[in-house]
Structure 1
Amino acid sequence: MNILVTGSSGWLGQHLVPRLKRGGHRVTGLDPVPGPHTDVVGSVADRAVVRAAIRDNAIQAIVHAGALHKPHVAIHDSSRFIAVNVQGTLNLLEEATASGSTVDRFVFTSTTSLMISRQIREAHKRGIHRAFWIDEEMAPLEPRNIYGISKLAAEHLCRMVHDSSNLPVIILRTARFFPEEDDMAHEIIQSDANIKANEFLYRRLTVEDAARAHVVALDRAPQIGFDTFIISALTPFSPDDCGQLMDYAPLVVHRYFPRYREIYARRGWTMFDYIDRVYDSTKAMRRLGFVCATDFGDILTQLDREDGVAPAVSRVPWAS
């Protein structure tokens, strides 16, 4: 297929574009930032750029991974988020369904962040005694910032265009896979690698798994038609664990992984005292046929193979 990938210079794009090319696809990368995987330097907010990229390259499929992200909230005003994340998505959808277009599938990279309200984010401070079990049926959605609001609005545009045109659209609400330190790291005493390892229990995946999920979504889109999926490493937890996860998470983790304390102790690592949310990605397994290759059990196996010295980031690829 001829595939347009937006955000081709970004973290996901750097892994997705080569994977698609290895699969025999012809990929056109679109990004405002030049990069080795970017063929068209421009913004999705520019309708003319989008139109030319689709038509000049006879695009058959679009992966829309380009966006302003949460870290950009501090440096861009809300109108810029609307221009890029909302209008940019509409530009792509409308050009994909315009007369003469050869596009027959669309994959949109969304985010689990839009599912996190202020209540969920502040659950522990507010004295809420159960972790939130988060799946695709959770409602109402009340994003807490312009990033989440703009991504939710873009999801609604995806559904609207699918309903009016029958363009197959798959929405992937990806959990965390960014390499940067968490924006709340200053409130936690663990190392960055320790934090990321913990998060594989409930809200993280590798960038390789994120890229692979998009490849699977491209393949399955015509059969599925339209749907939304949470993409995160499979959690070992169940809804029955939610009370104790908020009360004292290490006890729950020890029940599922009896050796985790021993493995962590060799590095001076610790588990979070509480876990306030759990992303359930079983729908992606059942309907999309996708499961992340790396989960918390795999992380423990990798750590157990180490020599007992706290590893550098380069030795734990899931933390980068």
Structure 2
Amino acid sequence: MLLTGSSGWLGRFLAPRLRAAGHQVVGMDVVPGAETQVVASVADRAAIERLFKDHGVEAVVHGGALHKPDIARFPVQAFVDVNVTGTLNLLQAAVAAGHDRFVMTSTTSLMISQSIRDEAGAAAVWLGETTGPLAPRNIYGVTKLAAEGLCRLHHAEHGLSSIVLRTARFFPEDDDTHSEPSGENLKANEFLHRRLTVDDAAQAHVAALERAPSIGFGTYIVSAPTPFARSDAQALKRDAAAVVAGYFPEAAELYARRGWRLPSSIGRVYDAALAERELGFRCRTDFATVLDALRTGAPPPFAHDPAYESPSAATAR
């Protein structure tokens, strides 16, 4: 099977998981890596056709893409070439090869319009797979939404079973737009409503690959299960720390020991319940796991590496 984005953060965790599930993995990326056998771009149609022919690819997990931080590094056309044309190249090759499954990594970011990002409402926005109309606020979201549409179209027109995973945040570096709270504190807070570990992201792809033929086409949010209910939406916006205390009475004390702060307001919550019902997948690491680590003095159960550099950043230098 083909894994694109194999030199990236997800790819280095996903490739071993796929092999453990019994798959022979051919990794493809724009830069070399331990899990990468083919160095090429998905935007190169000839390279894709060569790879399928030379390696007898039988399924695709498409994790390669330009991401939101790449907006500062690449022109708009590069996003279209990689995220849209690259996805189309893979889908057409998969159809021609008679594949029965295709899994694509998408993003919850495409669900965030400017109005949702501004968080001006009186309640937190509850985000699920039926949330819409979608109005992505940047070229990253626009191209990933287009790529999702191509997956749906190739299922409808060619019968290619396709699963789209809208993953929440799992990057290890610092946030490029929010500096307070910083580092590990921000990541810990996000496990309440919009984060997962890279290990869980990898396992979600393995589950999607297994279920794709029986599902046909599906789009799923993948995030740590939120402890909140929809009825908490107004209180989360008004005083999130008090809501958290209701679910986790010792959270504030455990946070204080570390010098961390609980969120004062939460403006949106990702609901990953559909993935649990239909894919049979639930993230193993959640906010309770984070608190367990604080309680015992163990390292946080997630990766934080401010020095991490993506493969796309390396190619932009």
SS at match of 1:243: helix
Q: State how far apart, in whole Å, the 2-side matches of 1:319 and 1:40 are.
A: 27
Q: State how far apart, in whole Å, the 2-side matches of 1:113 and 1:191 are.
A: 20
1:102 positional shift: 4.2
Indicate the residue corresponding to 2:136 in structure 1. 143
- How many pairs were matched up? 304
Equivalent runs, 1:247-262 vs 2, <5 Å: 247-262=238-253
Indicate the residue corresponding to 2:303 in structure 1. 319
SS at match of 1:50: helix
1:75 positional shift: 0.9
**Kept in 2: contact 1:196–1:319 (CA 8 A):** no
Would you identify which runs of 4 or more consecutive aligned residues in structure 1 move more than 3 Å? none
SS at match of 1:35: coil
Structure 1 residue ranges without an equivalent (≥5) = 308-314
Q: State how far apart, in whole Å, the 2-side matches of 1:185 and 1:114 are.
A: 18
Q: State how far apart, in whole Å, the 2-side matches of 1:317 and 1:243 are.
A: 29
Indicate the residue corresponding to 1:225 in structure 2. 216
Equivalent runs, 1:1-320 vs 2, <5 Å: 3-98=1-96, 101-123=97-119, 126=120, 128-186=121-179, 188=180, 190-306=181-297, 315-320=299-304
Q: State how far apart, in whole Å, the 1-side matches of 2:129 and 2:20 are.
A: 32
Q: State how far apart, in whole Å, the 2-side matches of 1:261 and 1:316 are.
A: 16
SS at match of 1:212: helix
Q: State how far apart, in whole Å, the 2-side matches of 1:108 and 1:35 are.
A: 20
Q: Which has the higher contact order (CA 8 A, sep 6+)?
A: 2
1:317 positional shift: 4.2
Paired letter, 1:316 = P
SS at match of 1:26: coil
**Kept in 2: contact 1:197–1:319 (CA 8 A):** no
Q: State how far apart, in whole Å, the 1-side matches of 2:246 and 2:166 are.
A: 29
Change (3 A) 1:102 1:161: closer
**Kept in 1: contact 2:289–2:301 (CA 8 A):** no
SS at match of 2:31: coil
Structure 2 residue ranges without an equivalent (≥5) = 305-317
Aligned-residue CA RMSD in angstroms?
Answer: 1.0
**Kept in 1: contact 2:5–2:28 (CA 8 A):** yes
Q: Sequence identity, in percent?
A: 55
Paired letter, 1:261 = A
TM-score by structure 2 length?
A: 0.94
**Kept in 2: contact 1:50–1:91 (CA 8 A):** yes
Paired letter, 1:294 = T
TM-score by structure 1 length?
A: 0.93
1:232 positional shift: 0.1
Paired letter, 1:196 = K
Q: State how far apart, in whole Å, the 2-side matches of 1:274 and 1:265 are.
A: 18
Deviation per residue, 1:62-105 (Å, 9 max, x gap): 0000000000001111111000000000000011111xx14221
